[in-house]
């Protein structure tokens, strides 16, 4: 692996090669209610207090709250342009470059990878182009692979295909949905040759969240990238700490 990529990945993954990433890029498309995301500085401080490894956020937050981010790993969202004001139906387009991310001190960048919808070709073309630029500049790439689109509930076979497609296009980390049992989900992690992180989706009870993460970790996932289940929770530091305990538990 490119030494620049290896060094930056060490800022995202702990020595056990697992990671708890808190996604706070939801203000970009206008997802609400914002909960604790309404106050980014305080939220970041609570995420740090909970022991997270990294955050996934937007160019605006990264540029304004660098001091609060501190030693947290920083993953920068590079695509957007479709918002809830427009019904959320527009295609995702690049809103920043890999070089922009480097200037902001990012350790990785993230873009969507939509499979199985009419926007598939455009989405995967963008993913491939960003992957090429990441290789040139030594920047790790997270691909958020969403089979059948944003609101779909894909099965394990569909998630397996999407995760592998993201890896084939050059992603260094795959963020995707969890489905099925831990035994079934093992197919996703076994056939994807880069780390797989499970996303959180809509807010649920803490018991449901923890049970799902435990299943994902048993299946060989490398961690989680959760958003609403953290910043819409009453106690951000506490729920973050709970995620950290599960993900970084002894093997």
pLDDT digits (tens, 9 = 90+) for 111-130: 999 999 998 999 999 999 99
pLDDT at 38 over 60: yes
Say whether pLDDT at 71 is over 60: yes
Contact 45, 61 (CB under 8 A): no
Q: Is 89 a residue whose pLDDT tops 60?
A: no
Quickly count: other Cβ atoms within 10 Å of residue 119's Cβ.
18
Q: How far is CA 19 from CA 35, 70, 89, 152, in A?
A: 24, 17, 31, 25
Residue 100: predicted pLDDT: 97
| pLDDT tens column, 183-198 | 999 999 999 999 999 9
Instruction: Output the pTM of the full model.
Output: 0.95
Interhelix angle 236-247/40-50, rounded to 10 degrees, is 40
Class of domain 3-247 (CATH, top level): alpha beta
Ramachandran area for residue 117 (φ above 0: left; ψ -120 to 50: alpha; else beta): beta
> Binning pLDDT at 50, 70 and 90, where does residue 203 land?
confident
Query: Could you tell me what percentage of the chain is helix, strand and coil, using 3-state DSSP and rounding each to the nearest 5?
Result: 45, 20, 40
* Mean pLDDT, the chain, whole residue set: 94
- For residues 119 and 91, the answer to whether their CB atoms sit within 8 Å is yes
Q: In angstroms, rounded to a whole number, what is the distance separating the alpha carbons of residues 197 and 144?
A: 9
What is the DSSP code string of 209-244?
HHHHHHHHHHTT--EEEE-HHHHTSS-HHHHHHHHH
């Amino acid at each position: 692996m490119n030494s620049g990529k290896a060094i930056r990945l060490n800022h995202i993954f702990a020595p056990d090669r697992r990671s708890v990433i808190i996604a706070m890029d939801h203000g970009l498309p206008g997802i609400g209610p914002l909960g604790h995301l309404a106050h980014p500085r305080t939220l970041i401080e609570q995420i740090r207090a909970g022991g997270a490894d990294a955050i996934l956020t937007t160019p605006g937050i990264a540029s304004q709250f660098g001091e609060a981010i501190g030693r947290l790993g920083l993953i920068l969202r590079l695509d957007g342009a479709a918002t809830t004001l427009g019904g959320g139906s527009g295609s995702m387009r690049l809103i920043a470059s890999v070089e922009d991310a480097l200037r902001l001190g990012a350790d990785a960048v993230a873009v969507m990878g939509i499979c199985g919808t009419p926007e598939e070709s455009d989405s995967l073309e963008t993913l491939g182009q960003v992957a090429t630029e990441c290789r040139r500049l030594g920047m790790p790439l997270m691909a958020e692979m969403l089979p059948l689109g944003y609101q779909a509930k894909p099965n394990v076979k569909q998630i397996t295909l999407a995760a592998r497609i993201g890896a084939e296009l050059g992603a260094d980390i795959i963020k995707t949905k969890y489905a099925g049992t831990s035994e079934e989900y093992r197919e996703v992690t076994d056939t994807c040759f880069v780390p797989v992180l499970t996303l959180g989706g809509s807010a649920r009870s803490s018991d449901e969240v923890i049970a799902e993460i435990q299943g994902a970790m048993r299946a060989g996932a490398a961690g989680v990238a959760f958003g609403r289940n953290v910043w819409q929770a009453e106690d951000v530091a506490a729920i973050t700490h709970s995620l950290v305990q599960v993900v970084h538990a002894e093997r």
